[in-house]
Amino acid sequence: MRGRLGTRAVQYGVLIFLTVALNFFLPRAMPGSPLAYLAGEDVGLMSAEVRREVLARHALDLPLGTQFARYLGNLVRGDLGHSYQRGRPVAEIIAERLPWTLLLTATSLVLSTLIGVALGAWAAWRRGQSSDLSLLLVVMFFRSMPSFWIAVILVAVFAVGLGWFPIYGAYTPWLVATGWERVLNVLRHLALPVLSLTLIGSAETFLVMRYAMLDVLGEDYIATARAKGLSERVVLYKHALRNALLPVATVFMLNLGFTVSGATVIETVFAYPGLGRLMYEAVLSRDYPLLQASFLVVTLAVVLANLLADLLYPLLDPRVRLSDGA
């Protein structure tokens, strides 16, 4: 147990270090001056004197090792750099966006898990029948759709066509409403992005759940339960469902890591002010410090979620505790 966690911890450490190193070396390894990437300035047009002065201001005249040490020092102090396009510290911008992404992706993750589990269990119970197979085909179709395509269609039909939902954003700007009206406003903006993510997410959970359930239904203890004369309902919900949930829990926790990296594409379609959309905006405006910092934050979040999953999993599945004891 300790050995497994130790290995994982080392791996996560390496991943974070590689991310930091990538962020540091990428702008410096590109053709041309790193100034173009780090400060948005074109050194080609500067006189030699000005160039020296600007390089010194960004500490780019120091040896690479010293630069890297400084960079690490800044990160440790929580200084993620400065966005020259927006004239603000990057950490501040990210902190503003993070809650919106979490709201969007966490809601979708919970909903898609619930829907996927319910439908998956139902399909497994009716295995081989036409209702199971047609549901399976529909789910496979949903799973194959590009998420942005679903999103665009939903916008065209429900926002533009029917006018039921707002077209973009996370809330109405300059809304004077307070209390419930405000909450309702945010929820209405949330509906279509969440629906897009949930449609695809529940397809994934459905497949895992149906598979796990089929597996469990073939076990001896299910046959025993049936032989005891228990009703099909009790067998299904009390004996099979609980054990089939284990793989779903694994997938849930893996996806937890991706809640922060979120839904760049969906946030872009809906102009939702989350972290994913921020990365996209950073690409469009060539705001490299912002882009890199977002990537770092996302990686950190993924690593934390995975670590959490590693810690929680033995609690859910006693077999892991036993077999890893050696």
Q: Which residues bind another protein (CB under 8 A)?
A: 7, 11-12, 14-15, 18, 22, 26-27, 30, 137, 140-141, 143-149, 152-153, 155-156, 160, 167, 197, 200-201, 204, 207-208, 247, 250-251, 254-255, 257-258, 261, 263-265, 268-269, 276, 279-280, 282-284, 286, 288, 291-292, 294-295, 298-299, 302-303, 306
**Separation of alpha carbons 312 and 320, rounded Å:** 11
Q: Are 86 and 287 in contact (CB under 8 A)?
A: yes
Question: Which tokens hold the place of 25?
Answer: 């070396």
Report the residue number, 32 or 183, with the smaller CB distance to another protein: 32
Report the residue number, 235 or 262, with the smaller CB distance to another protein: 262
**Separation of alpha carbons 219 and 232, rounded Å:** 15
Minimum gap (Å) between residue 241 Cβ and another protein? 19
Report the residue number, 61 or 204, with the smaller CB distance to another protein: 204
Question: Which tokens hold the place of 218?
Answer: 């073939």
**DSSP states along 25-83:** HHHHHSSS-THHHHT---GGGS-HHHHHHHHHHTTTTS-HHHHHHHHHHHHHTT---EE
Minimum gap (Å) between residue 133 Cβ and another protein? 9
Minimum gap (Å) between residue 321 Cβ and another protein? 20
Of 159, 247, 150, nearest to 204 by C-alpha is 247
**Separation of alpha carbons 235 and 281, rounded Å:** 52
Give the count of beta carbons closer than 10 Å to the beta carbon of residue 143: 15
Minimum gap (Å) between residue 12 Cβ and another protein? 8
Q: Are 7 and 17 in contact (CB under 8 A)?
A: no
Minimum gap (Å) between residue 283 Cβ and another protein? 5
